[in-house]
Amino acid sequence: MKTKEFGLYIHIPFCVRKCSYCDFLSMPTSERLQEDYVKALITEISLTAEKTKGKVKSLYFGGGTPSLLTVSQMERIAESLYSCFSILPNAEISMEVNPGTIEKAKLNTYHRIGINRLSMGLQSTQNDELQMLGRIHTYEEFEKNYQLLRVEGFRNISIDLLLAIPNQSQAQMLSGLQRLINLRPEHISVYSLILEEGTKFYEIRDSLNLPTEENEREMYWAADAYLIKNGYYPYEISNYALKGRECQHNLLYWSDEDYIGLGIGAASYWNGVRWKNTSDIKQYIKSPLPSAIREITQEKDEQRHLEDYLFLGLRKREGILIDKLNQSFDQPLQKIYALEIEKMQKQGLLEIVDGYLRLTQKGIDFSNMVFAEFLR
């Protein structure tokens, strides 16, 4: 039997301060809290690895701001991961780093522990927008950090950008994108700003000059065309990469592959079952036993599995290879969803090309409608 290969996600929930739009599980840090968390994480790593057979094909440190961890903390986490899990020699090892928290000594450590891909949260190239978003850095600081990563030999860098920021015009957005493209990062993620409950932006939503839904869509497609024209391949709704630089870790989320999440709030998908770790950092630090911190969010179920397969797989621009999907289920897709697929093809939301089922441009704009059709 083929050895299972899977992804590992490590959540580091600390940030210098909360950005105005952020609803991720993140919080301000203190030396003590950070150290206690790292100790608990190392315990969870070792207890989880004992029960997890297989090889790690991708490892992702996300947050929060993982680059806030000290050199010693990163080294101890990495040592624990390498000694407890079998990590493939060619595994993609990514880490999110935020401008303003990057130092040369940390970068040397990242190299030493095998990190081969860095993802920078920039969000905007305009300083007034960065300030409004509550970011801790200016564009100039970002660029200085970016150049340092290059000088230190990082050859696979991703940059996150936000679209549809209050007061933003399409021309401003495109000029920011051009500035970024000039730096030639290997990967660019473009997300539209969404006002999530519990964020500062949500509280002051009535005072924000946000683009209409129509403007937001126009901006998205303008960014899409611009990135494609400049050599960035759109491999997912929000993700663009130079040839061969797609994020392997994200791809496994959209390709029905198994992954384990460690740390507070981290999600896992293993043999058809989904679970999530507690979001309570105090509880986690007190007792990071997998049995105590995990909550099953979805039991194994053929129909839910198929819905997730479609929901996540259709995020990929190439779509879903129908033959491959059919190997994972008792009945073929076109039998289960014959009517829905035909209807959405007629509506111009879905298309089948070379054996792949995928969203059309209209389907991307109305993806929620498409996904709702598949729910039973």
Count CB atoms within 10 A of the CB of residue 13.
25
Distances (CA, A) of 64 to 16, 23, 68: 9, 10, 9
Per-residue binding letters, 273-312, with ligand SF4 (x by CB under 6 A): ----------------------------------------
Q: Which is nearer to ligand SF4, 24 or 233 (CB)?
A: 24
Nearer to ligand SF4, 96 or 186 (CB): 96
Taking the least distance from each CB to ligand SF4, the nearer of 205 and 286 is: 205
- In the complex, the smallest distance separating the C-beta of residue 135 from ligand SF4, rounded to whole angstroms, is 7
Distance CA 262, CA 276 (A): 9
Give the helix/strand (H/E) hosting 48: helix 31-50
Residue 31-50 contact track with ligand SF4, rule CB under 6 A, x = bound: --------------------
Residue 24 found at the interface with ligand SF4 (CB under 6 A): yes
- By CB under 6 A, which span of 18-26, 163-171, 232-240, 367-375 interacts with ligand SF4? 18-26
Q: How far is the CB of 130 from ligand SF4 (least distance, A)?
A: 11
Interacting residue with ligand SF4 among 29, 52, 80, 98 (CB under 6 A): 98
Q: Which two tokens stand for residue 343?
A: 């209807």
**Near ligand SF4 in 111-170, by CB under 6 A:** 121
> What is the torsion angle, in degrees rounded to the nearest 10, for the CA atoms of residue 97, residue 98, residue 104 and residue 109?
-20
**Is residue 262 a contact point for ligand SF4 (CB under 6 A)?**
no
Among 8, 12, 15, 333, indicate the residue that binds ligand SF4 (CB under 6 A).
15
* Residue 253 parent element (H or E): helix 248-254
Task: Give least dist CB 99 to ligand SF4, A.
Answer: 10
Q: Count other Cβ atoms within 10 Å, centred on residue 150.
A: 13
Q: With beta carbons less than 8 A apart as the criterion, state whether 332 and 326 touch.
A: yes
Q: Are 278 and 27 in contact (CB under 8 A)?
A: no
Rg (CA), the chain: 21
Among 8, 10, 12, 19, binds ligand SF4 (CB under 6 A): 19
Name, in order, each residue with C-beta under 8 angstroms of 248's C-beta and a sequence gap of 6 or more: 57, 58, 92
- Interaction site with ligand SF4 (CB under 6 A): 15, 18-19, 22, 24, 26, 63-65, 98, 121
